[in-house]
């Protein structure tokens, strides 16, 4: 029984690797998507720092490039992760999902492969955003442990958004509708402490900004990268949002895929 179980786990890993390789190959063949993935971090960093850098009062001792870099990291990572559902919707429209269902592979294999591909792709995009920020004057005050924690937060965010994107992609019936989730993910950072302090937002938006996931995520990244003050319990709030999101989305995506 132990040998069979070990062999089964090894087969599942092999399946996930092959399916992830397939998802990545398809994405790399889409030149427009690659251009967006490369151009978005560069354009966002240059626009935020160049246009708003001298106009926004951060309310802290941080320069605006330091203040905004964690936000751009999350925005780029989230936008790319929100496109994970497009691939699975395209598979359904082409009839490939029906073919996969009759194969002896795990029900979570196809959705998980899109999520893993999103993680690999968007970690690179986030790294590009950091490189551009360094060129523009970003000066982090983080050691190796801090950078590893930053990577964990970014990966956790990408995984959570990608799983919800897969859920959305399994619910809608067109590739265009599947891509609509990316606009919601792009909008959320603007109603948080990502680009301006929460106190500078209109009163009716401050409550929303303080209780949505982007604010604690950005504050955690600022604390890790820049040794900025962070409210007590922010780290646990981040863990609760990310773990809770995955706990709901993963089984939901698996059930929707099987149906």
Q: What percent of the chain has pLDDT over 90?
A: 20
The confidence band for 5, taking pLDDT boundaries of 50, 70 and 90, is very low
Residue 193's pLDDT is what? 86
**When comparing pLDDT for 174 and 160, which is higher?**
160
**Mean pLDDT confidence for 118-146:** 88
**Mean pLDDT confidence for 231-235:** 85
**Mean pLDDT confidence for 174-180:** 81
pLDDT tens-digit map of 105-114? 666 677 888 8
Number of C-beta neighbours around residue 254 at 10 A: 21
For residue 51, count CB atoms less than 10 angstroms from its CB and return exposed for 0-12, middle for 13-18, buried for 19 or more: exposed
Residue 35's pLDDT is what? 64
Q: State both tokens at 255.
A: 């059930």
Q: In whole angstroms, what is the distance from residue 158 CA to residue 181 CA?
A: 14
Please say if the pLDDT value at position 142 is more than 70. Answer: yes
Please say if the pLDDT value at position 145 is more than 90. Answer: yes
Query: Max Cα separation, the chain?
Result: 66
Q: State both tokens at 140.
A: 């982090």
Q: How many residues does the chain have?
A: 259
2 within domain boundaries: no
- 3, 103 Cβ separation under 8 angstroms: no
Residue 2's pLDDT is what? 37
Q: State both tokens at 172.
A: 């809608």
For residue 32, count CB atoms less than 10 angstroms from its CB and return exposed for 0-12, middle for 13-18, buried for 19 or more: exposed
Q: In whole angstroms, what is the distance from residue 137 CA to residue 70 CA?
A: 14
Report how many domains make up the chain: 1
pLDDT tens-digit map of 53-73? 666 766 677 788 888 899 888
Across the chain, mean pLDDT equals 81
The confidence band for 36, taking pLDDT boundaries of 50, 70 and 90, is low
Please say if the pLDDT value at position 31 is more than 60. Answer: no
The confidence band for 190, taking pLDDT boundaries of 50, 70 and 90, is confident
Residues 204-229 as b/e (b if ≥16 CB within 10 A, e otherwise) read eeeeebeeebbbbbbbbbbbbbbebe
Residue 250 belongs to domain spanning: 13-258
Please say if the pLDDT value at position 238 is more than 90. Answer: yes
């Amino acid at each position: 029984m132990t040998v069979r179980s070990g062999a089964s786990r090894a087969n599942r890993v092999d399946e996930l690797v092959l399916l992830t390789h397939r998802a990545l190959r398809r994405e790399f063949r889409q030149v427009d998507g690659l251009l967006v993935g490369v151009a978005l971090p560069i354009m966002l960093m240059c626009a935020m720092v160049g246009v708003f850098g001298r106009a926004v009062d951060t309310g802290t001792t941080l320069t605006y490039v330091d203040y905004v870099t964690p936000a751009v990291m999350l925005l780029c990572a989230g936008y790319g992760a929100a496109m994970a559902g497009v691939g699975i919707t395209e598979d359904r429209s082409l009839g490939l999902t029906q073919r996969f269902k009759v194969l002896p592979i795990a029900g979570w294999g196809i959705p998980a492969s899109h999520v893993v591909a999103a993680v690999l792709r968007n970690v690179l995009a986030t790294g590009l955003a950091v490189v551009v920020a360094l060129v523009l004057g970003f000066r982090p005050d983080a050691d190796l442990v801090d950078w590893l924690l930053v990577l964990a937060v970014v990966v956790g965010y990408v995984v959570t958004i990608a799983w919800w994107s897969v859920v959305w992609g399994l619910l809608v019936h067109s590739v265009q509708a599947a891509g609509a989730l990316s606009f919601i993910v792009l909008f959320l950072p603007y109603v948080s402490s990502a680009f301006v302090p929460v106190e500078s937002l209109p009163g009716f938006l401050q409550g929303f900004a303080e209780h949505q996931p982007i604010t604690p995520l950005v504050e955690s990244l600022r604390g890790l990268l820049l040794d900025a003050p962070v409210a007590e319990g922010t780290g646990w709030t981040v863990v609760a949002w990310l773990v809770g999101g995955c706990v709901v989305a993963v089984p939901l995506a698996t059930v929707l895929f099987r149906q």
